[in-house]
Structure 1
Amino acid sequence: MTALQRYGEFFSAMQPEDLDRLDAVFVENARFRDPFNEVNGIGGIRAVFEHMYANCAEARFEVLESVGDERLGYLRWRLHFRLRRDKAPRRPLEGVSRVVFAEDGRVREHVDYWDAAGELYEQFPVIGGLMRWLRSRLAVDSGG
């Protein structure tokens, strides 16, 4: 099993109790970045995921595909979630993570790429309306 496959399995099965073993997955000074956070070190990475679990009653990643080698890989994923105040799950978010591995197979860098405006913000009443209006103003008219 490759480092990317191991990480994909960890990522897709991750639960709050798995945060206690992040040092087996990430090097001490690992870098993590997503549209909302940029942190360095296992403590910072743990804080990002603790925050996610604190605000989501349900959160789980589904790895859809992976491409890479022992040094560098990409995971395409879908996040299924429900915020604590929600009665039903929200539409899943899709994104891609670029993952760089250290020589020992642990993660040295994890950078998420996903469309916060289109994937997340549009699901909220006020800001969603604003995002849809803005998108309609900036999009090319394909009625041609």
Structure 2
Amino acid sequence: MIFHDTMTSAPMNFEKDLDMLADFYEKMTLESCQQLHLIYAADAFFKDPFNEVRGLDVIRSIFEHMFVQVDKPRFKIHTRILQNNEAFLTWDFMFTMKNRSYEAQKIRGATHLRFNAVGRVSYHRDYWDAAEELYEKIPVLGSLMRLLKRIARK
């Protein structure tokens, strides 16, 4: 579906909406999560390896919970692709585990987005491998995950 500007009948450009979203992620703080309504639709869908939810309040709670779980969470957006009202981002998520002596961690992932007619995110789907990017880095669990991966390759 291509959205059109009702005044000009020209296809809508979501470039500034994508820029605002990428900027939000790269500068996200616990406090800025209160501004999520400026970026996401009230009935937005969100899915990642741990969650599948609908609604702004639940999405906000997922982002706020991230600040409870980890120290210094930060996103770095690498690629932005926009076609009509759909976008694709690639990113790194960097953080350190709270109350742990683990070194800084990095998760590589991608996000598929859809914007509604007013430029708010209505669909957000994150793609990243929780086993490779997270579980394998935990000392005991990581050893088990690597062993299972080796067995599966045989």
TM-score computed with the length of structure 1 as normaliser: 0.92
Aligned to 1:96: 110
- Percent identity over paired residues: 34
**Which segment drifts farther, 69-78 or 80-89?**
80-89
Query: 1:106 is aligned with what amino acid?
Result: R
Query: 1:57 is aligned with what amino acid?
Result: D
The total of aligned residue pairs comes to 140
Query: 2:108 is aligned with what amino acid?
Result: E
Aligned to 1:47: 61
Paired residues of 1:77 and 1:96 also in contact (CA < 8 A): yes
How far residue 89 of structure 1 moved from its aligned partner, in angstroms, is 3.7
Aligned to 1:113: 127
How far residue 120 of structure 1 moved from its aligned partner, in angstroms, is 0.3
**Which segment drifts farther, 113-122 or 8-17?**
8-17
- d(CA) in 2 for partners of 1:74 and 1:89? 29
Query: Is 2:37 the partner of 1:2?
Result: no
Query: 1:47 is aligned with what amino acid?
Result: S
Match of 2:142 among 108, 128, 135: 128
TM-score computed with the length of structure 2 as normaliser: 0.86
Aligned to 1:87: 101
Match of 2:28 among 14, 19, 24: 14
How far residue 136 of structure 1 moved from its aligned partner, in angstroms, is 0.8
Question: What whole-Å deviation, never above 9, does each CA across 1:22-48 have from its counterpart, x for those lacking one?
Answer: 111101000111000111111100110
Larger-gyration structure (1/2): 2
How far residue 70 of structure 1 moved from its aligned partner, in angstroms, is 4.3
* Unpaired segments ≥5 residues, structure 1: none
Instruction: Report the 3-state secondary structure (helix = DSSP H, G, I; strand = E; otherwise coil) of the residue aligned with 2:134.
Output: helix
Match of 1:75 among 81, 86, 89: 89
* Unpaired segments ≥5 residues, structure 2: 1-14
Question: What whole-Å deviation, never above 9, does each CA across 1:59-99 have from its counterpart, x for those lacking one?
Answer: 01110111113400001000000111223543300000001
Query: 2:39 is aligned with what amino acid?
Result: V
Paired residues of 1:72 and 1:99 also in contact (CA < 8 A): yes
Instruction: Report the 3-state secondary structure (helix = DSSP H, G, I; strand = E; otherwise coil) of the residue aligned with 1:35.
Output: coil
- d(CA) in 2 for partners of 1:104 and 1:120? 35
